[in-house]
Amino acid sequence: MNYSSIPVAQTVVQHCKAKDIRDIVISPGSRSAPLTIGFTEDPFFNCYSIVDERCAAFFALGMAQQRQRPVAVLCTSGSALLNYYPAVAEAFYSTIPLVVLSADRPLYKIDVGDGQTIRQDHVFDRHIGYSANLKQDVSHATEKIEKYAPHYLEGDMEAIQKGIQAYNDGELNKAINLAFDKRLPVHINVPFEEPLYDKITLPLVHPNIAGDKSGAIALEELDDFSKIWNASTRKMVLVGVNYPDSVQREFLETLAQDPSVIVLTETTSNMHHPNFFPSIDSIIAPIEKSSHTEELFAALQPDILLTFGGLVVSKKIKAFLRKYKPRHHWHIDPLRAYDTFFALNHHYKGSVNDFFGLFVPKIHAVESDYYGFWNRIKEDCEAKRKEYLEKIPFSDFLAFKHIFESTPGGVQLQLANSSTIRYAQLFDLKPSQEVFCNRGTSGIDGSLSTAVGAAMYNGKQTVLITGDLSFFYDSNGLWNNYLKSDFRIILINNDGGGIFRILPGQEESDTYATYFETTHKLDAEHLCAMHGVGYTCANDEKSLINQLDGFFESSVEPKLLEIKTPRILNNKILMQYFDFISSGIINHIL
C-alpha cells in the first residue's frame, strides 16, 4: 500500500482511520493530492469523486444524515473551500457531523500574490464546531522553507518536527472527537508545500490518537417538574425535526392517551399516532380567520409547552406561541435549546428517551377536555380538506395529493424547502415513510445532492420531491456516478418561485415576476438525457395519475417525473383552502 511522503498527510489519514471515518468525498485538485493519495490508496476508505464542491458537501451531508456519524469532504486550496459553506451551515444547525478537510498553501505564500490562495484558516468560525489549523512539516520540502521562511528552522530540526507532530495530533483529536461527541461539523485546514505527489510504501509517522473522554450528561431530578405537569390541564408537546423510530413507542402512547395533552407533529418529526396532530397549520389558520380568534387562541394556549427535535417549519405555530406564551416551556436535547418562542424556562440536557424514561413513571393522565376539544376541530378540518381536494382544479395542491397517495410505504422521502415542505405539512403521510429535509438553514440549495448522498446508505428507495428553483439550482447534483437505479425525483415545475405568490407584498407586475418569482420556461428533459435519468412529464390530473402508476417500480435507471402546474392559479387555490376549512367549523363548535 502506498502513502503520501508528507507526514501531516499521513497523520490526517491515520486519525480518520483510527476513528472509523470511512466515507471520504473528494473533489479534484492538486494541492490536496497528498490526502487524496492517502485515502484512495487505502482500501479501508470508501472514496467518492464529485467535481462540484457545493454538491460534494451536500452529498456528504446526506450520507452523514443517514449514518448519524461523521463523513469527510476533501478539497483543494482557494475558493473551492468556500463552496462548502452552505452545507457546513446546514450541518451546524442540523447537528450533522461533517469533517471538512481543506488543503492549503504554506502560510508564507498567503497574501503575497501566489495563485489559488485565500485566507482559509478559521473561514467557517461562526458556523463550525471546531477549526483545526494544522502546522506545516519542516521535514518535507526543507529547502523551500529555508528559502522562503528560514525562521521556521531556528533550532533543532528533529525537535521542531516533533513539536509540529504533537500539535497536529492534538488538533486532530480535538476536532474529530468533537464531531463524534457533539455531532457538529469541524474544519481541518492542512498546509502543504510542493512536491505533492511523492509516495512511499511505509508510513513515516505514528500519531498519538486519543479518544473522547467526555461522559454522558446526567438529567436533573424531575420531581418538581412532574408535580407541575400533573397539576396542569393543558399541555402541548411540539416535535420538530426528528429521526425515524428514535423515540420509544411506550412514551408516545403515554402522551397520546392523556386527555390533557395535545401532541403537534411536523412532517419532519417522523412520529405518528392517531391521536397526534400532524397538520399544524390546518388548525391554526382557521382560527386566524375566525370571528372568535382571541377566545380560541386563549383556549389553545398551553400551561406547559414541552419541545424536542430540531427546527420547526410552521410559521403559524411560532407566531401563536410567541404571542400566547406558555407559563412553562421545557426543551429536551443533549446539546441545544433554542428559545424559539421567547419563553424557555428549562433545558433538559439529555436524550428524549432518557428524559421520558425518568419522567413517565412520575406522571399520570389528568382529566381535561383539552385534547377532546381540539381533536374535534382536527377531525372537522380533515373532513373539509378531503371535500376541498375533490372540487379544486389541477394545481400544486392537487398534485401533492396524488403524489402522497401514490408514493408507497417504506420509502424515504427527501423534501426540498420552500413550497415543497410546506405543502407536505398539510397532508398525512404514511407512517412507514421516513421524511428528511434540510431544515437547519432552510435553503433551497443542496436538496438534490443531499438526497443522492442519503440514498447511498438509507437502504430504502429514495424519493426526492422538489420544486423547480431548488432542482435547477442544484442540478449539478446529478453530475456524479452514484445515482442508484431506484432513485426517484418528483419535480413540481410552476415556472418560478411559487411560494412568493403567497407571501405578503405579492403583486402582479413584471418586476415582481422577474426579481421575486424569477419566472422561467425551463424543463428538465435535456438535463435528464445528459445524466442518464429516465424522464416523464405530466401537465394535468389525468396524465399525472397515469405517470405515477408504475413510477416507483424497479428500473434500470433512475427516474424523474416533471409535473407542470399553473403558476397564476396555485397560490389562489392554496389560500382559498384555509378559507374553506375555516368556514362553518370553528363558529359551529363554539
Identify the burial level of 213 via C-beta atoms within 10 angstroms of its C-beta, where 0-12 means exposed, 13-18 middle and 19 or more buried. Answer: exposed
Q: What is the share, in percent, of the chain residues with pLDDT greater than 70? A: 95
Task: Please answer whether residues 259 and 365 qualify as being in contact, where contact means their C-beta atoms are separated by less than 8 angstroms.
Answer: yes
Provide CATH code, domain 3-196. Answer: 3.40.50.970
Give the pLDDT confidence score for residue 305 in this predicted structure. Answer: 98
**515: confidence class by pLDDT, cuts 50, 70, 90:** confident
Would you say residue 347 has pLDDT above 60?
A: yes
Average pLDDT over residues 470-476: 96
Distances (CA, A) of 507 to 26, 254, 570: 45, 48, 14
Q: Using the 8-state DSSP alphabet, how is residue 560 labeled?
A: E
Distances (CA, A) of 47 to 37, 39, 561: 11, 7, 30
CA distance 439 to 94: 7
Domain definitions of the chain by residue range: 3-196, 223-372, 396-565
**418: confidence class by pLDDT, cuts 50, 70, 90:** confident
Give the pLDDT confidence score for residue 495 in this predicted structure. Answer: 83
The residue among 302, 309, 296 whose CA lies nearest residue 229 is 302
CA distance 51 to 26: 8
> Could you write out the three-class secondary structure of 440-495?
CCCCCCCHHHHHHHHHCCCCCCEEEEEEHHHHHHCHHHHCCCCCCCCCEEEEEECC
The residue among 460, 455, 463, 458 whose CA lies nearest residue 482 is 455
Location of C-alpha cell 447534483: 477
Q: Using the 8-state DSSP alphabet, how is residue 259 labeled?
A: T
CA distance 96 to 102: 18
Would you say residue 558 has pLDDT above 90?
A: yes
Task: Please answer whether residues 26 and 47 qualify as being in contact, where contact means their C-beta atoms are separated by less than 8 angstroms.
Answer: yes
CA distance 121 to 191: 10
The C-alpha cell that represents 535 in the structure block? 424522464
pLDDT of 5-49, one tens digit each? 999 999 999 999 999 999 999 999 999 999 999 999 999 999 999
Average pLDDT over residues 119-138: 97
Q: What is the share, in percent, of the chain residues with pLDDT greater than 90? A: 85
Q: What CATH class does 396-565 carry? A: alpha beta
Helix (H, G, I), strand (E, B) or coil at 198: coil
The residue among 259, 243, 151, 276 whose CA lies nearest residue 436 is 243
Give the pLDDT confidence score for residue 217 in this predicted structure. Answer: 46
CA distance 270 to 309: 10
Would you say residue 482 has pLDDT above 90?
A: yes
The C-alpha cell that represents 100 in the structure block? 471538512
Q: Where are the alpha helices (DSSP H) in 290-361?
A: 293-300, 315-323, 352-359
Task: Please answer whether residues 55 and 481 qualify as being in contact, where contact means their C-beta atoms are separated by less than 8 angstroms.
Answer: no
pLDDT of 164-217, one tens digit each? 999 999 999 999 999 999 999 999 999 999 999 999 999 989 999 987 655 444
Give the number of other CB atoms < 10 A from CB of residue 525. 14
- First CA to last CA across the chain, in angstroms? 76
The residue among 407, 441, 404, 409 whose CA lies nearest residue 423 is 404
**467: confidence class by pLDDT, cuts 50, 70, 90:** very high
Give the pLDDT confidence score for residue 583 in this predicted structure. Answer: 74
Task: Please answer whether residues 310 and 268 qualify as being in contact, where contact means their C-beta atoms are separated by less than 8 angstroms.
Answer: yes
Tell how far CA 544 is from the center of its chain.
29
Helix (H, G, I), strand (E, B) or coil at 9: helix
Task: Please answer whether residues 362 and 253 qualify as being in contact, where contact means their C-beta atoms are separated by less than 8 angstroms.
Answer: no
Q: What is the identity of the amino acid at 267?
A: T
The C-alpha cell that represents 572 in the structure block? 389562489
Give the pLDDT confidence score for residue 219 in this predicted structure. Answer: 61
Give the pLDDT confidence score for residue 502 in this predicted structure. Answer: 65
CA distance 129 to 182: 8
- Enclosing H/E stretch for 375: helix 370-389
**148: confidence class by pLDDT, cuts 50, 70, 90:** very high
Give the pLDDT confidence score for residue 67 in this predicted structure. Answer: 96
Average pLDDT over residues 410-422: 95
Would you say residue 263 has pLDDT above 80?
A: yes
Q: How confident is the prediction for the chain on average, in pLDDT?
A: 93
Average pLDDT over residues 284-300: 90
CA distance 439 to 517: 21
CA distance 249 to 271: 10
Average pLDDT over residues 275-291: 91
> Could you write out the three-class secondary structure of 22-83?
CEEEECCCCCCHHHHHHHHCCCCCEEEECCCHHHHHHHHHHHHHHHCCCEEEEECCHHHHHH
Q: What CATH class does 223-372 carry? A: alpha beta
Distances (CA, A) of 97 to 57, 93, 177, 311, 571: 12, 11, 10, 17, 38
Average pLDDT over residues 127-155: 96
Angle separating helix axes 85-94 and 53-67, nearest 10 degrees? 20
Angle separating helix axes 541-548 and 396-406, nearest 10 degrees? 20
Tell how far CA 445 is from the center of its chain.
11
Task: Please answer whether residues 407 and 435 qualify as being in contact, where contact means their C-beta atoms are separated by less than 8 angstroms.
Answer: no
Count, residues in the chain: 590
CA distance 193 to 101: 16
Give the pLDDT confidence score for residue 222 in this predicted structure. Answer: 87
The residue among 401, 378, 403 whose CA lies nearest residue 388 is 401
Give the pLDDT confidence score for residue 586 in this predicted structure. Answer: 58
**521: confidence class by pLDDT, cuts 50, 70, 90:** confident
Give the pLDDT confidence score for residue 220 in this predicted structure. Answer: 63
Average pLDDT over residues 528-532: 97
Task: Please answer whether residues 457 and 441 qualify as being in contact, where contact means their C-beta atoms are separated by less than 8 angstroms.
Answer: no
User: Do strands 3-4 and 199-200 pair parallel, antiparallel, or not at all (unpaired)?
Assistant: antiparallel
Q: Where are the alpha helices (DSSP H) in 154-292?
A: 157-182, 223-231, 249-256, 280-289
Give the pLDDT confidence score for residue 589 in this predicted structure. Answer: 56
- Enclosing H/E stretch for 537: strand 534-538
